[in-house]
C-alpha cells in the first residue's frame, strides 16, 4: 500500500529555536498534504492544507508565520515550527492524498515535539 | 457545531467479544466519505475502514464492519472477536465533497479509547 514517511519521529529542542518536520510520500505523488496537531488523548486538529507549488491554506487560529509550510514537490512537504516555545510541544502528523485512492488518507508516523 | 461526534470517551470489552464504537456525523453535502482509524500508543494512524455516502452496502474489512445508517447519520464501527492488540484510541473521520479534483480535509471526532480485557 501507499506509504507516507515522516521525519523525525521525535525531537527535543530549546525554546527559541526552529524545528523542521518532513513528510514524504514514498510511492505516489501527493498533490495535497495535510498537517495536523494532536494533544495527548485528544483529537487531531487540522493546521493547514499544503498544495504542491502554491501557498498553504491555514485553518483559523493557526499562525502562518509560526508554522511555515512548504510543499516544493509532489512527494515532499515540510512544516517548520519557528521560534518554538514550550506550548508548541505536541504531536504533529501529516497525511497525503493520492489521486487514485481517495478512499483512504495516508498518514505519516507522526513527530513528537518537546520544547524545553 | 461538531461535525463528527463520538460520545464514548472510553469503552471496555472482554477479549473475543464484539464491541461497537459509536459515531454520528453532520453534513449537508450529499457526497462524503466516512473513515475509521486506529491510533495505538505509538501515535501512528492506522486506516481501518471506509464508507462512501453512495455505497449501498455496509463496508467490511476482516474483523471490522461499519454499520452505516444514512438517515440517522451514524457510522458505527463494529469490531468482532476483540483481541488484546485492539486496545487503542479509535477515531471516526469525515471528508466532505468527492467530485472532481478538489480534495476535502478530514474532520475527526473526539476519539474513543478502547481497552480489551483478557
Q: What is the pLDDT of residues A8-42, one digit of tens each?
A: 999 999 999 999 999 999 988 888 899 999 999 89
Which one has a higher pLDDT value, A94 or A99? A94
B109 contacts in chain A (CB < 8 Å): 43
Backbone angles phi, psi at A87, to 5 degrees: -70, -10
Using CA atoms, how far residue B27 sits from A21, A40, B65, in Å, is 33, 27, 22
B97 pLDDT tier (thresholds 50, 70, 90): confident
Task: Tell me which residues of chain A, numbers 54 to 73, contact chain B at a CB-CB cutoff of 8 Å.
Answer: none
**Residues counted in chain B:** 118
CA gap A71, A59 in Å, rounded: 17
B109 within 8 A of B6, measured Cβ to Cβ? yes
The confidence score (pLDDT) of residue B101 equals 39
Q: Do A112 and B33 touch (CB under 8 A)?
A: no
SS3 assignment, position A87: helix
Q: What angle do CA A89, A90, A95 make, to 5 degrees?
A: 140
- Helix (H) / strand (E) element for A21: namely strand A19-25
* Three cell numbers, residue A84: 518554538
A108 within 8 A of A95, measured Cβ to Cβ? yes
Q: How many CB pairs under 8 A join A and B?
A: 57
A102 pLDDT tier (thresholds 50, 70, 90): low
Which residue of chain B is at minimal alpha-carbon distance from A90? B43
CA gap B23, B65 in Å, rounded: 13
What is the pLDDT of chain B when averaged over all its residues?
A: 92
Q: Do A91 and B95 touch (CB under 8 A)?
A: no
Backbone angles phi, psi at B86, to 5 degrees: -80, -10
Q: Which of A5-19, A69-83, A89-103, B72-86 has the lowest mean pLDDT?
A: A89-103
What is the pLDDT of chain A when averaged over all its residues?
A: 91
Q: What angle do CA B42, A65, A89 make, to 5 degrees?
A: 30
* Residues paired with A38 in a beta bridge: A44, A91
Q: Do B91 and A43 touch (CB under 8 A)?
A: yes
Q: Do A102 and B44 touch (CB under 8 A)?
A: no
Amino acid at each position: 500500500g501507499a506509504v507516507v514517511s515522516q521525519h523525525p519521529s521525535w525531537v527535543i529542542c530549546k525554546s527559541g529555536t526552529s524545528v523542521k518536520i518532513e513528510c514524504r510520500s514514498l510511492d505516489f505523488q501527493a498533490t495535497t498534504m495535510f498537517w495536523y496537531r494532536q494533544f495527548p488523548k485528544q483529537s487531531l486538529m487540522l493546521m493547514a492544507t499544503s498544495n504542491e507549488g502554491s501557498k498553504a491554506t491555514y485553518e483559523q487560529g493557526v499562525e502562518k508565520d509560526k508554522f511555515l509550510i512548504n510543499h516544493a514537490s509532489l512527494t515532499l512537504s515540510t512544516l517548520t515550527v519557528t521560534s518554538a516555545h514550550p506550548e508548541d510541544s505536541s504531536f504533529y502528523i501529516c497525511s497525503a492524498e493520492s489521486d487514485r485512492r481517495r478512499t483512504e488518507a495516508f498518514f505519516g508516523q507522526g513527530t513528537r515535539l518537546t520544547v524545553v | 457545531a461538531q461535525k463528527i461526534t463520538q460520545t464514548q470517551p472510553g469503552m471496555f470489552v472482554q477479549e473475543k467479544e464484539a464491541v461497537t464504537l459509536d459515531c454520528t456525523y453532520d453534513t449537508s453535502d450529499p457526497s462524503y466519505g466516512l473513515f475509521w482509524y486506529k491510533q495505538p500508543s505509538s501515535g501512528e494512524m492506522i486506516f481501518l475502514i471506509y464508507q462512501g455516502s453512495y455505497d449501498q452496502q455496509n463496508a467490511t474489512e476482516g474483523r471490522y464492519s461499519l454499520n452505516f445508517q444514512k438517515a440517522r447519520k451514524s457510522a458505527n464501527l463494529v469490531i468482532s472477536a476483540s483481541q488484546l492488540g485492539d486496545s487503542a484510541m479509535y477515531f471516526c473521520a469525515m471528508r466532505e465533497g468527492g467530485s472532481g479534483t478538489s480534495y476535502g480535509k478530514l474532520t475527526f471526532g473526539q476519539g474513543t479509547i478502547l481497552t480489551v480485557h483478557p
